[in-house]
A and B are shown apart, each in its own frame.
Chain A
């Protein structure tokens, strides 16, 4: 772990916030994708059953 000196808290804080925000957008995209994909499959199967 490099010696970050007196500014350690700032460097670590900015890395933590940034990686955190990236995680948020990535996870949000994944969950949204799963939700839409599930609803689409449900409606498509409903359509196939009806046809």
Chain B
């Protein structure tokens, strides 16, 4: 498989992603439909939480993807800083809005799910609040991209912000645990525990997680193509201005 360093060349990335994108989008669609439909229609209610357990098929995957999106942006920023890999910087920029939307989904579903369980629309629970902070990090990151004119400088500065932001996001996560004991359920999908939740819920959950994962990948590839075209447009206009 071609190493990712070849994809520094935008033309090669565009060709390959154009070929791969329909498949990934299709996979995302299938997994999402199967996972959500299975979870929504064919799983029993939880004895304690009743039908609200069905929200798990969106809340958990979106929360996991929200964090993974930031990690992907962190890795892409590192690749940009170390190897001046233009496409990875644009991939980081493309992934930010998608990650932000996943964070919003996790927050919204968490709040709605919390209402019947905890009695209030918004509960200052450490895990839910750390997603609120993650949302602010996404806003800052995207705002910095928009604020800077020269694309290469923007890529450098946002990469530094992403690196520093990641450290503070982790610190905030543990600061919140210290700050308020929280009502959130334990880890639903931790790999070390032998049996997290009963299998009947587990399979649709993993499928919809795969669906969210593929959706994220498809959206990032698609948006990176757009970012590359936008950069090409900027280069052409700069060339025209030079006469």
Direct contact of A and B (CB under 8 A): yes
Interface residues of A (CB under 8 A from B): 2-8, 10-11, 13-15, 17-18, 21-22, 24-26, 28-29, 32-33, 36-37, 39-40, 43-44, 46-47
- Give the size range of B's interface with the partner: 35 or more
CA distance A42 to B97 in the complex (A): 27
In the A-B complex, the 10 residue pairs with the closest CB atoms: A4-B51, A14-B112, A25-B101, A33-B226, A14-B109, A7-B52, A18-B58, A14-B55, A17-B108, A18-B105
A-B interface pairs (CB < 8 A), number: 96
- A sample of 26 inter-chain contacts (CB < 8 A) reads A2-B40, A3-B51, A5-B50, A7-B49, A7-B50, A7-B52, A10-B52, A11-B54, A11-B55, A17-B105, A17-B109, A18-B105, A18-B109, A25-B219, A29-B226, A32-B226, A33-B222, A33-B223, A33-B225, A36-B233, A37-B226, A39-B233, A40-B230, A43-B233, A43-B237, A47-B239
In the complex, the answer to whether B229 meets A36 with C-beta atoms within 8 Å is yes
A14 surroundings in chain B (CB, below 8 A): 55, 58-59, 108-109, 112-113
B140 adjacent to chain A (CB < 8 Å): no
A10 in contact with B58 given A43-B236, A47-B240 (CB within 8 Å)? no
In the complex, the answer to whether A8 meets B101 with C-beta atoms within 8 Å is no
